[in-house]
Homo-oligomer: A and B are copies of this chain.
Amino acid sequence: MPTTGTGDETALPLSDITVVDLTQVIAGPFASMQLGDLGATVIKLEAVGRGDRSRSLQPSPAYFDSINRNKRSVAVDLKSEEGQEVAQTLLADADVFIESTKPGRAESYGLGYETVSALNPELVYCSISGFGRDSPYEEMPAWDMLVQGMSGIMSITGTEDGPPLWSGLPVGDLIAGSYAVQSVLAALYARENGEIDGEWVEVPMFDAAISWLTARAGHSFGTDEPFPRLGTRHPSIAPFGVFECADDSIVVPAGTDSLWNGFCRALEAPELLADERFETLDDRVANREALLAEVEPIFDSRPAAEWLERLRDEGVPAGPINDTRSVWDDEHVEHRQLRQSMPRENRQDAEVVDSPVHFSELTTTLEVPPQRLGGSTDDVLSEYGYDDDEIERLRNDDIVE
């Protein structure tokens, strides 16, 4: 099986790419982290004295660490002219700029698209915004939960008799970050094969979230009805969902006839298999309540672990409902080493979740642990031609940190 983090840098897909990153909190940092996982050198620009707003979000620094490995932190005051010159120096030599500043902010820093593409016509400039330019909401800052509400995502999360709820994942942010990666990679490919020189791409969080409605949108296009909130009930499959065992709940999606067979065998309930009320999938959905009345007491008679084993032995998918702590003890998660510790000098190790992508010839990497604010300021400035005296002076003038 392909592995990650072998350290063979020649096999990193983006080993020749440098990304300058002016984003914070979740959407942008999630994107630049993934470009870093793919081998890009990511230079994260942060405000002097404060840094990425998520550095102070609790628990600190675990919140920040979870989406900021594989980045070199450079703290620079972009309100100052000299700070802007630092950023422009980096951008003149970069392949990608990814930014999520408020409308007009990048321009006020001397980092607007026109300015920067004049310095570096081959740059891929990616703007993550709430609603994008040319929107009635252009000036409105987007928050994940606002996007979840406005996009329809909240409306389909929750129970039928309860109010709309937020998805537990900050999907408004993460979807946008994911499209930012997609669009940057597509532009780098097009640049590499000569189709374009440089590119400016915009990823609005709102539009991104809406595009994920997919089949939920299809439901409304086809029926002219809103997609309902279903809690843990499947509209057209039974038995399917959460079952309470003697000690804990499990998820069992027995979505086909052959799985229904295995389900009945696992429950040692051949009478259900013979019951004409449950013969076809449509029958089982039509008689869902009767079906549940039969199986619920059976599940209640044994502990979850035993049901998982019995169901899986019969080829029926079944799993526990893990929480964000118990998931790391899952057998597969441990075997795949999805949770990784990245050692840091004079600091606690950073705990991170590895990339889920398993290449064969290529690899992903976990190279640079999440850094303190300005952890690479000196190194980066020195690599870009600033001598020690200049760096010292910029630091004394609070231009960099």
Contact = CB atoms under 8 A, between A and B. Distances in A.
A325 B357 contact: no
A110 interface: no
B59 A223 contact: yes
10 contacts: A145-B241, A152-B322, A154-B321, A170-B214, A203-B357, A214-B353, A216-B324, A218-B351, A226-B326, A227-B323
B155 A213 contact: no
A158 interface: yes
B182 A168 contact: no
A217 B169 CA distance: 10
Given A145-B234, A227-B323, A356 B1 contact: no
A150 B319 contact: yes
A146 B212 contact: no
Given A356-B179, A358-B132, A222 B62 contact: yes
Interface in A298-334: 312, 315, 317-328, 330-333
5 tightest A-B CB contacts, nearest first: A62-B222, A59-B222, A156-B168, A66-B218, A149-B251
Contacts of A253: 143, 145-146
A171 B223 CA distance: 22
Given A59-B222, A317-B140, A217 B171 contact: no
A325 B225 contact: yes
| Residue from A186, A241, A332 whose CB has the most chain B CB atoms within 10 Å | A186
Contacts of A219: 59, 62-63, 324
A187 interface: yes
A157 B168 CA distance: 4
Contacts of A165: 157-159, 165, 231-232
A288 interface: no
Interface stretch (A10-18, A83-91, A264-272): A10-18
Nearest to A166: B232
Contact of A13 (B134, B186, B230, B249): B186
A229 B231 CA distance: 14
A223 B61 CA distance: 11
A357 B148 CA distance: 18
Contacts of A208: 356
Interface in A329-345: 330-333, 335-336, 338-339
A67 B357 CA distance: 22
Interface string A116-142: 000000000000001111111101111
A162 B159 contact: yes
Nearest to A206: B332
A109 interface: no
A252 to B, nearest CB: 8
A198 interface: yes
Given A157-B168, A332-B206, A174 B212 contact: yes
Given A185-B189, A201-B362, 5 more contacts: A2-B200, A132-B336, A211-B354, A214-B353, A217-B339
Contacts of A331: 136-137
B216 A169 contact: yes
Interface in A352-378: 353-362
A164 interface: yes
Given A149-B321, A162-B162, A1 B202 contact: yes
